[in-house]
Structure 1
Amino acid sequence: MRAAFYTEYGSADVLQVGELPDPVTGPDDVLVRVAAAGVNPVDWKVRQGYLQDAFPSHLPVVPGWDVAGTVEAVGPAVTDYAVGDRVLGYVRKDHVQHGTTAELVRAAVRHLAPLPDGVGFEVAGGIPLAGLTALQALEAVAVGEGDTVLVHAAAGGVGAFAVQLAVSRGARVLGTASEGNADFLRSLGAEPVTYGDGLQERVRDLLGGAPVTAAVDLVGGDAIADSFALVEDPSRVVTVTDGAQALAGGGRYVFVRPDSAQLGELARLVADGSLHVEVAGTYDLADVAEAHRRSETGHGRGKVVVTV
């Protein structure tokens, strides 16, 4: 199969595209022919060798955990899927090596969910990690009707999902972003707040004395401190960045996990128009290094997707 991979850690320059052996499908596995694979910050952090303690990796590495495509084959124990089914998946395994930026990927059933016909592969490739992260963060602090939620980095891949999902649950949402993303946040249902020094005062001025009841941090550092200062109940502050800082203050930490039911829920919301996926850019497999560089800038909104 044709795949993107690297044989050493380093910058995007180490990425190459070539032939690798096809994956072997085990009894509980589904073999997916990949149409699109999302690119997430964790992909280039692993590639640079930053996350060896968290994710043991084995060279050569095919990057990527997000996938959308069609079922090519199923193991003998699989009854949930059949050849030709459209699927999307968050294919995070215990060890990093056989990722999704390839023509074929092996996935356990628990990594996958059915993809409705109305959702294109490029859009679906941007759903799994970011969508699940947002949903699990909101559930960790029980966001619901009547809440006022502060979402940090609200215009990013995870943030845009968090804003929309919180709004759909009946919450008032304030989202931090640059001034250039203010209109985008409004289109998602959030009230934009410029990030940076003075954030707490800007939030309080906007709310006119009303409390922030929950906060979702996607940045770390000062954003976590600001969240604790603004939210009365520290257990309703959640981060996906710095668990030690959040837990020390009485908050919560979420490390996204595969969840087939939640992934299916997200896909259905996209299919019925309740959830918008902002695709920042699509790249051919041959241009995977450019896709990684785009993600590494950290300034774009929405998702970067590689088509295969």
Structure 2
Amino acid sequence: MKAVWYEGFGPADQVLIHGEMPTPDPAPGEVLVRVHASGINPSDVKLRAGARPGATMAYPRIVPHSDGAGVIEAVGEGVDPARVGQRVWLWNACWQRALGTAAEYVALPAHQAVPLPDGTSFTEGACLGIPAMTAWYALFRDGPIAGKTVLITGGAGTVGRYACQMAALGGARVITTVSSTEKAAHSGASDWVNYREADVAETVRDMTGGDGVDRIVEVDFAANQAASLALIKPGGTIASYASASQMAPELAFYPFMFLNVTLQMLIIYQLDHATHARGEAQLSDWLAAGKLTHAVVPGGTLADTAAAHAKVEAGQKLGTVVVEV
């Protein structure tokens, strides 16, 4: 099969190799998927670059990318043969594994291949594993959010845009922060604040009649800690999936404690199977009903993977970069 891989960390155009490698066979409990689209997330490019603290090559050769979509072509022992021919979206394909979705075929545990509704394209399905599931978990880990007010920072981001949609579908009032009117439109939220032009805490306070918000889906915990503290209601939750501005921020422990705030630091890779399945079911319902839209940024074909990684690293795209396989 054709695939892209690397055998050492470094710049994409120097370490990514496009070539031929053996097609894997599905082991017991696995499915073999013919990949049609491979989603590229910031975590994928950081891993390839060796940018994670203490990063080492866990395997001599790594095929990158955790997310993707395609069709099941074969199943291993113990997997229902009726799944052959099923359209699926994939998650955690390259989490603690050597072979991800940047290849024509990938073999992975059957539960990591989730049925993809016919109305959702493969390129759209390749956006679900990390961005959409992170948004879902940040919003619904604790249960329903109907009637709540949710602040989503970075609503134009890959996670933020999904979170804006899902929070509204869950019956919450949505407020988001963005850096331009273009990004406000991209987020889809009707209530938004340009954080470059206005004081977020003051503006959101005014928008909520001084009440603040019940939940914050946070794209940069360190950068926004002061505003979060000013806005979160007593008993509220801050669900943060990144803190890029400062990886080890100083925590305002007692101010948060006296508000009885729940701080949730989340990473979708570590989600337990039962909770992940609950999220998959909710996504499936929304997808089947056509209630979610997707921001797909074309990344070319498998041979263009290095350039697609560069597009992710540039940070200017609005959506998930996807290569078609």
User: Shared fold by TM > 0.5?
Assistant: yes
Query: Structure 2 CA distance, aligned partners of 1:234 and 1:12?
Result: 44
* Secondary structure of the structure 1 residue equivalent to 2:226: helix
Count of aligned pairs: 306
Of residues 184, 204, 207, the one that matches 2:186 is 184
* Secondary structure of the structure 2 residue equivalent to 1:251: strand
Query: Structure 2 CA distance, aligned partners of 1:21 and 1:220?
Result: 43
Query: Structure 2 CA distance, aligned partners of 1:267 and 1:279?
Result: 18
Check conservation: 1:74, 1:81, Cα contact below 8 A. no
Check conservation: 1:111, 1:260, Cα contact below 8 A. no
Cα deviations by residue, 1:234-263 (Å, 9 ceiling, x for unpaired):
651110124975795551111113624422
Aligned residue in 2 for 1:2 = 2
* More displaced stretch, 27-36 vs 5-14: 5-14
Check conservation: 1:280, 1:301, Cα contact below 8 A. yes
Aligned residue in 2 for 1:281 = 298
* Secondary structure of the structure 1 residue equivalent to 2:62: strand
Deviation at 1:11, TM superposition (A): 1.5
* More displaced stretch, 214-223 vs 201-210: 201-210
Cα deviations by residue, 1:19-76 (Å, 9 ceiling, x for unpaired):
1121131110000000001110000010111236588632321110111000111012
What do you get for the CA RMSD once the two structures are aligned?
Answer: 2.3
Q: Is 1:71 paired with 2:68?
A: no
Once the two structures are aligned, what percentage of the paired residues are identical?
35
Check conservation: 2:135, 2:160, Cα contact below 8 A. yes
Aligned residue in 1 for 2:259 = none
One-letter code of the match for 2:3? Answer: A
Gaps in structure 2 of 5+ consecutive residues: 257-261
* Secondary structure of the structure 2 residue equivalent to 1:24: coil
Query: Structure 2 CA distance, aligned partners of 1:247 and 1:49?
Result: 31
* Residue pairs, 1:133-282, within 5 angstroms: 133-142=134-143, 144-179=145-180, 180-185=182-187, 188-196=188-196, 198-233=199-234, 235-242=236-243, 249=256, 250-256=262-268, 257=271, 259-282=276-299
User: Does 1 or 2 have the higher relative contact order (CA < 8 Å, sep 6+)?
Assistant: 1
Check conservation: 2:50, 2:56, Cα contact below 8 A. no
Going from structure 1 to structure 2, the CA distance change for 1:55 and 1:161 (only over 3 Å counts) comes to: farther
* Residue pairs, 1:107-126, within 5 angstroms: 107-126=108-127
Deviation at 1:224, TM superposition (A): 3.4
* More displaced stretch, 149-158 vs 207-216: 207-216
